[in-house]
Structures are given as structure tokens and as C-alpha cells.
Structure 1
């Protein structure tokens, strides 16, 4: 037997009592000692375990010993049971009252599987004798039995949930969502009991229960009021609709009974109060309203706080269709609330009132309402949601952490700030849960007694000096919340953006330079010159600039290159001059200003486009999803029709292309457009540009030659990354041209015409203009630069039959007919499919040749001085490695695996894995590398303003690339390490699969 001192060292407070208790456990004592010692309160856990064994023995002799032996033999069960006993006196009491429920914790799925909401609902309804599949379930047990059964089943499921939370660390958001699902199921079961109580009258009304607050947001605490709103409609009957008076009485009875069923105390205790005071007119208003009555109130009388409360509204019980209609009705009202006069001031005042009503003796220990508490985060997040959620539906999340993640992803909250807020809020919510779990009491105050602090600290993982470590961690997160709350809640983009505050407006030049330097500006004097140019004078423009710049300066400071951001802003502002919408949009549309600041401080490529197309600032308030080729082509063709010359038409086409390049670039920079979608968008844009310019060139040559109709049909075949739908910003458009004489036209005449059209197309695309050039590269055509620019299908067929090499068939893997005559495009595709997808696969000699060519490319094409580890295209695990591996699989197997017949890399990889040609793990590794390298390649071009196939060595450029990829500030090294690790793994796969 161990000494009492050894038990104290393990974590027990009363070593002597622990020694006696462990001895009473018998053979189970030794294996369970460490499990008990790891709990929040080892002494309470041991006492609870002994009491549970005694109760089991009282029911069935020897059952307690059997339970102990079984628990000691199952580590998972032991961990779960001991964790609950050590953290929750209330659940320990439940286990003693219902000892058979200990077996719930033997379920091995508890560690990995969250029960679906429908299963929890079925369990709750079944417990009260209701049919869970009925349209309106009615409890089948006698009333008192049903009410008690509701409580017992509720705690049975809560016991399982708590064990998952404590033993398996499921995360605060998952735990809160699971509690919310349980609350929703409880409301449905309580409504079933209420229907049984009300009887036949209940059929007169359809009732929906709308959860608000934390239950509505899927973030309920262990014990909390459940905020609801009731909406009803008269039910239809065989003789028509029930009159409203009868339906109102039925709905009121149902709602009243439901509230009573949940909150009444019985021999099995209570559950929680159901609070309906968030309904229209609060406690003074009717308990239930029709949908039309709710709508009328919200449209005419509701205050700002009521719309804030509706942020989290969701139907949880009763009639699902009615609940859905209620939420659909209130959603537009919620998301237009920010347009109400005085919206921001109302919300800020509401926050101040909450703080003022905190009891003085609780102020410093309040987790929820105190300064630096949960409500600070929730208010800031909800306010930002309401302000920006009008236009950005991704922000319409009920749970605070989900909404915070959406705000961070959307750029409304800085990534670092978002991460720190997430960390702080998660800690505070977890601490709140641990406090409430002990007695299942509704409290948000951190206790002061040493025993409670010790238990809480241990429950959060602080086994050494738990009380001191808990206090340190809590105070740190409170400070962080205070700091971030002040930054996010009162300053940026809320209401009218504040003018330069007192001391800031009166800084000396020296002090201003110091401040700008501290913010990260490398050339503070130049920054001051820009500020002077932007704000000097007494015009309305200067006044708005003075309003905007304090916020913009901070946003520029958060970007990789603050100086470039401010300088770019000055140039765009000077270009747009007194354009009335420009500064007003930046002042009133916070998202636009924030996006503009991020773009100007990060991307030379996008900044150059904005300087050439300053009207593009408007686009930052729109969707940044790339447009379809059809939409772009339609616009281009409309402009071409109005142009008087081919040159003017080509300039108009290229202007549309310039604008859409800006859309795609901005989408990747600030809206998180996926790299595959970027490649598709750039490829579609090139399709439209080539089609529109081909039409211009065809018409121009026809007119020059005085022809009534074109003597030849022409098609454009995309090759390389363009054919693969995978263009990047700096890619050339690799193409081949094919033509076909119109019936009755001589071959020479048709060929001459087609060659002239191609020449004219290339000339029009190379005209000097203020847009990035579109280089049309036809060098992949048969015979390369020495071959004819345009061939017929028959000429291509003859060449491929007699002279082509395996590398040309490999090149055809990515051929895609994208522009010109559709029938001709189809004929060309029919020609090349058997060549690039040979029915019998690739001969061994050709496989060797492909590998030989790859080895030669690896040795000879890498630029002198380039680092093979960080070269994006030809480096280890880079684009060439992945794409050649995929293409070899295609040439060898696409003859029999139809799904491999795609010019795109990622779909081909998926097809190869599905066909068993490569393991799913290897395919995933290659896909991950391809996506990462493609993202880095795009990011490098966006940052530098021109293509570059090497991971940047310059620290500022590297930081900017990391920022474009979504890394927080100061994470450049992490980005490089992630890149090297990902490409190293991909290269290992290439070594196995390509060089096998």
C-alpha cells in the first residue's frame, strides 16, 4: 500500500483518506489510481466511485465489485467515468441515483463520434413515450412519469456529453453545439408532453419554437436559460381553418405548458428555465404571435438590440415549416438593421449599459459581463456581423466562434487578432463550462475559494500550482480581450469613421515620423509627404481623406508593405480626382476600404491594374468570383459592335480583360478565391479574349480582301497550362491554330486567309495598351517555329502519323479546343484523342523516352543559380514533377480508364486514384503539393508584379507571399518550412510513381 504522502504528490488533498479509499477499491485500486489522480478533484472522484459501487451493491450483491473490475480493465471507460466524478458533483449525484447509467460511459464511440441531432431528438421523444416520426409527437406516458422521464433522459445524455468533453477534449464549440442539440430535443419532447396535457385543443394551432441567444447560436452552456420565441398559425381542419381566437388559446397553452415542464422541480430535479422575454414587447407582450404579427412588429417597432438578438434565431422544435418561414421572414430585417439611423451608437450604448448593471462585488470576477469578458467578444463579433453581413452572407453565422472565423476569413478582422480572440473566447467559455458543470448551476462568476480554483485549474490541465496557473491564464486572456475589443469595437468602420483624434492631429513632424516608423513604415518622411498631399486644403475631398486616413494608415501598417500601400492610395486618389463616388464609397463601405488597403499594401500586380483601371475600386464592393467565359464574351462582343476600327475593338476587348484580371487578382488577395478557381477564371478569360479577337481579326481580313464571306473556318486549340485550365497570372497562352476551307474554296486561298487572320489576331493582341499583354505562343505546333502557323485537320493527321514524337503526344494531353468554329474544334478533338489516349497504352520504349526527356529537362532547364528546393516549376516536388507524373499515368492508362481523359491535373489525379493506379494517400500528397506550389506561384506574381518561378529571397516579398497565402504576420519561416515539407513529400511520391 502506498503512503499518504505519495497520494498527495499524485494530486489528492487528503492523502490518508485517499490511501484508505484506494484500499477499499480492492484489486481495482492500483490500475485506477492514476486515472483518479488525473481528474479535476481526485478526492471527490474517489469518493464518488466508492459511493457508486456501494449503490450498485445495494441493488445487486457483488454488482459494485463487478463494475470496478470492468472499469479498471477498460482504460477509456475509466478515464471517462473518473473525469465526470472528479469534475461534476451534480452528475455524480445523478449516477448515484441512477447507477445503471455508468454503463453509458463504456461506449467506445464517445471519444470519436458526436451524436447526430436527429438521434438525440429521437431518444428524448422515445423516453416520454412519443413517436419521434409523427408530425406532431404526443407523449404516451402518464404525465408525471413523462416529466420525470424527460429529466432522467436529459441527464443520461448530458452525462455522455460531459464525459466526451472532459476526457476527450472535444473543443468548446463542439461541446456547446452538442448541448444545444440536446436542448432542442428537450424542447421537442417537452412540447410532446404539453400536447398530451392540453389534449384535443392542441390540434387547433401549429406552433414553432424559435431558439434565440446561445441555444439558437449552437453555443449553449451546460446550464443556462434557454431563450425562445413562439410563433403560431391556426391549423387547418376538415371544415377549414380554425378561427384565430381558438388557435391563440391553444398555442398559448402549449407554450405555457412547455415552459413549465422544463422548469418545474420534481423528484428528478429540474432542467432549466425557458425564457421568452426576447419576444416582441418582452414580458409585456403576448407569449405567442402569428407570423404576420411578428413581421409587423419588427418592421415598425423593433429596436436595434432586438435585431441583434435575432442574429442567432433558428427553429428548434414544433412545426418545422413554420419555424423556417419565421427565420426567412426575419433574416432580411436582421441584415438591414445596420442601415438604421443610430445603429452603431445604439449597440455601443447597449454594451455600456450591460457593464453598468454588473454588481460591484462581481465586476472583477465576472466571466460573462465584465470588462474583458465573454460579452465583449460577442458584442464585437455581432456588431461586425451586422455591419458587414448585409453584403457578405458568409458572415451570417450563429455561433460566435464560427462568426469570428468568417469575419477573419473575410478580412473584417485581422488574422492575428482573430486567432487571439478565438483563443481567448475559447478559454473563457471553457472556464465557464467547468464552473457550471460542478453543480449544474447557472453562474458566470469565477469562485474565490482555494478548493474551487484548484479544481478548475486542474480541469483545464494545470496539474502543478493549478490555482495560480488558472489566475495567470485568465488575466492574460482578459487583457487580450480588452485590447482587441477596444480596437475592433470602437474604432474601425463603425458609424462615421472618426477624424484624427486630438493628439494625433497635433503631432510634431518628428513625433509623426516616430509613430509612422513604429507602425512599420520604412520611409516615414515620404509617408508624411503623401499624407500632406492627400489632406491639404479645405475641400470636401480633403475632409473625407482626413476622415479615412487614420483607419487606412493602421490597415496599411498591418500589410507587408505599408509604404507601397500609402503611395498606391495616393496615386489612385489623384487619378480619380473629385469623382464623387470614390471617397464616399471608401468612407461608407468599410469592406471596400479594408480590401483596398490590403491590396495596395500587398500586391504590385493588383496595384498596377488599379492604377490603369481606377474605376476598378468599385469592384471591391462586389463579388470577386471570376465571371464565366460566356458572360465576359457577351460584354466584349457588345463593345466590339460599337467600335469603328479593328484596333478600337481590340482595345475595348483588352479593357474588359484588364478589369477581369483585376477581379480575379483581388479575389485571390482578399476574398480567398481557391487556386483552382483562379486558374479556371484566368483560362475562361483567355478563352473569351481569344474568341472576341479572333472574330475581330476574321472580319478585318475579310474586309481587307473584299470578300463576302470568310473562305475558311478557324479554331484555336489551347495547349499547356492554358489547355489544362490552369493558367497563372504570368502564363503565356500556348495555342495551336487549325483551319478548314469552306466548301468550294481552294486550299491555297483558305490557307492564305487563315494565316492572315492569325497574324492579325496576334497583331491586335500586341497593340500598345494599358493592360498586361496576352502573349499568344504557337511554338507547340508541329515542327515548332519552322512549321506553318495554321494547318488543316488532315495536315495535322498526316504529321502525327508520320513524324511526331512521344513528347508531342504528351503535349496533346493538355490540348483543349477553346475558340473558333465548334464543328472544327470537335473534329480536331476526335483526331487527337486516339493519339494521346492510346487504346493499348504506352509502349515500354515510349515510357523510357518520356523519362529520359524528363531527366533532361530537370538537368538543362533549371536556370543557373536557381535553388532546386524552392524553384516553383522545375524544383523538387514542383509543378513539373507533379504534372509529368500525372501525364505519364494518363498516357499509359487513359486508353482503358475513360475518367483519365482530362487536360486538368487535379481531376486526372482523382481519376488515377479511383482506378487504383496510385494510392489515395500518394494522390493526396501530389495534389497538396500542386495546389500549394500553384498558390505560391500566383502569390509571387501578385506581390512582385511580374512572373517569377522562385520562392522570393527578399524578406519583405517573402512576408507578402506568406500573407497572400493566409499566414499570420511573422510567419514567413513557417510558410517556407511548409513549402519544403510539402514538396519533399511530393518528390518522394514522384520517385516511386514516375521513376518506378
Structure 2
């Protein structure tokens, strides 16, 4: 590449970098002769220029010492030599970063000057990463072995094996990629020969932590690689390192489908005989089935659906990795063959895409023409991706929107202008997408029905009222036809006045006849359903991807009509958060809820797509996960799949999964900044979350907030260990503040949950988090009766097991205290009257706060638990009202008739409350249908509390 190949605007950038280099190094006379070679590359890559400014010796190495020879250096040997005399960890970090920067600049230089093929470039980046990981791991192992000895088992030294996943595993690494790693070791045991003995597990955790820091930490010298460990068993909540037996147990018993796909590209970075073969033997039967596994096609199709959802969710455009015909579709095509046939054909078990593609061609599973076209298009996209990342050493797959970026890209790709490059890109992506749809896609083209054609006139033609009503007479009686046309014509007028863009308007025009047809089929009130659907369409009309989703997926449109017909609340949720439309693509998936104990696993899988460092994206993703799961629960609810008690169970367990993730995210963010609290050893946190109210009672509703109390058991007065030290107890206050921030911050998808901490000791004037001993002291000595009532509805929902057990003992001790029954009854009655005084009197029966309503039943159960638990300790076990009533009857505190009456009333009120929420109405009944139940509750209240 010569200066004459570049535009004046690009050359201006290169010359500015060059002048800056000369100013920084006026004594380097050898630089003068290098301008002709360096300026064109500086024009193309700010990363190359910046690196040479930071270390001018890189330029000497490249241009005077033969560094830009295309022959691959012995990366491992050179780095081993560079580290051989290093004894200090900070110095080791500097060596790694210097080495990575020098050789990445070399590779970028070769690519921009057309000195190597994209195949060679991908392999070289991977080999460089391999050397950096392997040598850093070896250095960390040796340093720790000097202190603790060598980890042993039955007289055999134990290594740490590092699995490289994704493109690192396939030796096709991106220029600026994250690296996904998994750590494991062969056998349990302990170290021998050191100043202090450690269990092997502890030793290897220390090695793993040091290795991650060596690679991932950003210093003044930069970063080696962003390291992602979330693909390990159990994800973020799992151990950093596992021994082979635990590894095997996990994948045999709990391995998920997506983990199987991930393992297709797994490769051992530092194979140590004979352990590497043993590890491969553990993983092989999990990944590659002995039979022809055609279920892989549907599973990969689902994965593609999730990726399309991600593209819509993040509003990604011009993404050459995730978009239709992108890099990921090529990977799916190859993976489909690997997963289907890999169990029988060992040649397909290779982690590299090119090797498998050649094998598919050789065995005629792909035709020579298709395989060659796929390989050529994949190389084109990978080369474009490589250059995009080399411009500024950024992980991106999005085409540039700025003129400089576009100039750089078309020149690097060998095209005269950006239009010519883009035309070639579209051709390659069409080739890929065509093959993908042939193998994996399931889109079907169907001719529109006669009804749809007729209704197209209703939307597309400027009909008079008489003409429209005449057309609708085939579907509706005169009155309903008039209502339907009034609703439709109003929407049409509004859409004509909206700025939508040509493509959006075309998609809406194609979609509307299908919408009208769906509304007119089997709907008693089609105009009402149409009005609710219009609320959704107004929200998405400028986002063509969602219009196309409904247009191309008749099943999704049918589900949307069904749910909008059943509930205005659901319609409003989808209108506010259109990402929920993705949940309608697979009806079986929509109504197939996660098991109650499966929400955290589902959440972890959902978050795997989000980089840990992108805090805003993780917050948004958690809100989207909550919304999508809540929609699925509501869909199952309105269609009768779930009874009331199960609805609350699912909403409660969903909330608990999100609480766990929020706490773990907050913990990670705080420990990265301040270090670990003194005396806390991972995986313990010294922290717990107590739920009160509806969450505590496993009775959460759709709009419920979370009543929480935070506790810790840190007794240390010392500062945190590492990071930016602060007093350990102060750490927990900052942790609680961070948790509240993650819950309450409003993103595009709203708040995660509204949270209320007023039930903590001393209420709003108390600390956000208190020591568990302080919690006990407050409850036993200072708490009011209403706070003991609230404790009856409390549960420990996340945290250390020792803290959970301590809380249970405190709760039992407080609730089971002997009490003066007349005084207790007076306190409970006064508190209930005070609540009523604060309520606005209105028409109808308020299901929660009205006389004889939910609150009266809750106060009765709390009174009986507090008054009788000193004689019957088992009464304090449950926190939900239904099981408390069962327990009260079983111990003879109340009669079977009372228990039945209160349970019947309680469930009836809650069920009606759910229905009112889904109907978009306040929970107030004006029909009088609950009068008999209310009277029974009032009588029991009168006879119990007066």
C-alpha cells in the first residue's frame, strides 16, 4: 500500500501521527527513512500509530530488524525467554503487554500491506494468544509452587489445564476478541514441598485468579485480553476451577444444550500428557452423540432465533457477525454437521471451522460449489471483521458509519470505493444466508387467503364509510362492523400523519390485512382487540424489525392477538416493551415455563451474551429477562395453564433469581474496586437478603414491589483486602447501596423492581444493612408488635448458609416469645385501624384493605402465630398465609371451619386481584359477589380481636 492509494483526508491522519512520533523522538535519526513505509499504515490504523508512539522500538523491530516477515515467529519460545528472568508479578504483567502489543502491531501491519492471507492472520493471532495464556499460566503456577509446593495426587504432580473456547479454541481468533476460558485439574489432593500446604483446589484457584489478572487487568501498559469465565460449569456462581470428576458429573447430569455447542470448539491450550487425553475423553460423549443427532437442527434454529432477538434487542444494524448472512450463520451451518454426525465421524470433531468445512466437501456432505462459496464468503467477512478491529483495537463487527472508517475499510479490502465493497459484501451475505436457510431455516412462503385479500382493500384503499361497512358485513353484524371501522379508520388516519419511512410503511401495509383477519376470527369483541393491538403497533411502527417479525411469523401474530384479547395489561406491557414480541415466536416455548428452581439457570444463560464489563447492558438485560418471564407467566395464567398459587410461586422464584444475580453482580463490582472484606473467604459473602411481605410469603403479584432487609456477619474492624481498601463494615453499606442502584435505576425497560427497605431495624433512620447480631438485638428488645407481625411473613432468600441458619434461629426465638394476649390483640387491632384511617374511602370493596379483606386475614394469622407459637413452635415455620392457616388448624388453634372459611376467602380475593391486574383495573369489586366471604371474615375478626 502506497501513499498514492490513499485520499488526502486519510493521509492527513497518517502525517499527524508521524509528526507526533518525530516530536517525541528527535534523536532517532533512523526514522527519517521510514516515513514512506509508515505513514500509509498510520493512516489506516490509529492502533498501530498509537502503539508506535508508545514504544518506538516496535517500528525499529518491524522495519529494520525484519519483523514484518510473514513467517510466523516462535511465539512460545520468545515469550518463555522474555519471562525466564522475571520474578516480580508487575514486571510479568509489563512483559506480557509489551509482547502482545509488539506482535499485534506486526500482524496488523502485515494485513494492511497485504503481506499475509486472512487464514494465516487468524492462525497467527490464535497462536500468539495461545503463547500468552500458556506462558502466563506456567509463570503463575511456578511462582505459587515455590511458596506452597507442587499440587500432588498419589505421587503424581497435578497440572492446571486451560480450555480455550469459541474462536480461540478453533484457532480462528478475532484481532480484538475476548477470550473464553475454563480451568480444570485432574485429581484432589494437596501440595507438597512448600512452606505451607494447600489443598489442590485452593492452589489452582489461586493460579486461576493470578492468570486472569495477568491477562485481563488494564494497566498503564494496556491489557492482554479481556477474559470471560462465564462458560464454566455453573457460570459466575460456580467454582473457578474444578477437578475432572466434578467436571464429568456436571456435564453428564446438568450440561445444557448451549454448553454442548460451546464445547464443539473447545481446545486444551496447554495439553499435558496423559491428562489432556483424559479430559477429551470426559467431554467427547457429552458433545458428540453416538447416534445421528438430527435434533441439533432445531436446537441451532432456536439459537439463531435468540441471536436474531439479540440483534433486535440491541438495535444492531450493519452487523456482519450476527445479522442475516453473517459470520455466525456460517458457524451454525458447520456446527450442524458436527453435532449431527460428529459422534460417528471423528474427523468432524475438530474445533476449527476450515478443517471441518474441507472434511464436509471431501465427504460430499456439502457440494464442492457450496463449500467453496461458503468458505470464500466466510473469509471475506472475517477479513472485513479483522480490519474493522485493527483500526483501533476494538471488538466490533459493525460497519462504520463515518467517512474515514468507510475509506479505510474499502481500501483495506481492495476496493476502489465503499459502494463497490458493500455490493460485494451483500453478495457474500446472500450466499451464506441462502445456504443457512436451506439447511437450518424454517421460513415458509404462503399465498395470502381470499379473506386477507379482501381485508387488504379495507386498509389500503380510501373507502367511504358505506363501502367499508359493506365489506365488513361478511364478517360482522351492523353494530360491531361500525365499531370496528371507527377504530380502524382512526388508527389509519393517525398512521398517515406519522413519519415512518418507506420500508416501515410497506411492512405495515403488508401486515395490516393479516392483523384485521386475525381480529375478526373467533373474537366476540373484535374492535376491543383491534384497539389493544393498535397500542402495540403504534409502539413498533418505526422499528421495522418488529413489523417484519409479525409479518414473517403468522404464529407470533396469532399469539399476540390471543394475549391482547385475554388481557389489556399484557397488551400494554408488549406496547411498552416491544422486545417481548420475541417471546411469541415459539408458542410451545411461550407456555413452557421454567421449573421453579430453574429461573437462575435461565437468567445465567441469558446474561452470557453480555460482557461482564458492560454494566448498563447487564442491567437492561436483567430487566428484559424479568419482563419476558413475567409475560410467559401471565400468558400461562390467562390461558388457564397455571392456577393462582402456581402463578405466585413462579413470580416469587423469578424475583429470587434476580435478587441472587443482582447481589452477585454488586459483589463483583464492589470487590473489584475495594477488595474482599477482611475474614471473608470465597465463595462466602458474609451477607444475606431477607424477604418480607408478599415476597416473604411466596405470594408475589405482577406489580408487587420487594420488601427487603440486608444483613451481614462481618465482625472485623480491619480494612478490605486488595483494591482500594475501606473499613470492612463500610464495604457492606456500599454493597447495599449498589444493590439498590441495580434494582431501582430506570433503563429503557424500566426498573427491575421497586424496593422497600423500611422494615429494616429502625426503619428509614437505620443503616441500609445491619449486623445479624444487631438485627437480633433490635427484634428482641426494641421492635414494635407490627414489626413482629411482619417477621411472621419473612424468609431468608439469598446469602451464606450460616447466616440463613442464624436468621432462622432469631426468627423462631422472636416469634415464639410468650406474649400478653390482650395487649397483643389490642396492638394488632390498633395497627389495623391506623391503616384504615390512612385509606381513602371509595366505592366498592377494596380486596386488600377493605373490611373483611386480605389485610384482615393476614392480621388474624399473624396474631395467632404470635400468640400461640410459644406453645406450638411449628406455627412459626411457614411464611405464607395458606400454610399458616393449615398449621393453625392442625395444632387446634382454630377450627376447621374457620381455617376453611379464611382460606377460601383469601384465595378468592387473591385470584380476583390477579384478574383485575391483568384486566388493567384497580383491585376493587363493585359486584357484591364477595359479600358472604367478607361477612365470614368479619365475624372471625370480631370473635378473635373484638
TM-score bracket for the superposition, by shorter chain length = 0.3 to 0.5
TM-score (norm 1): 0.43
TM-score (norm 2): 0.45
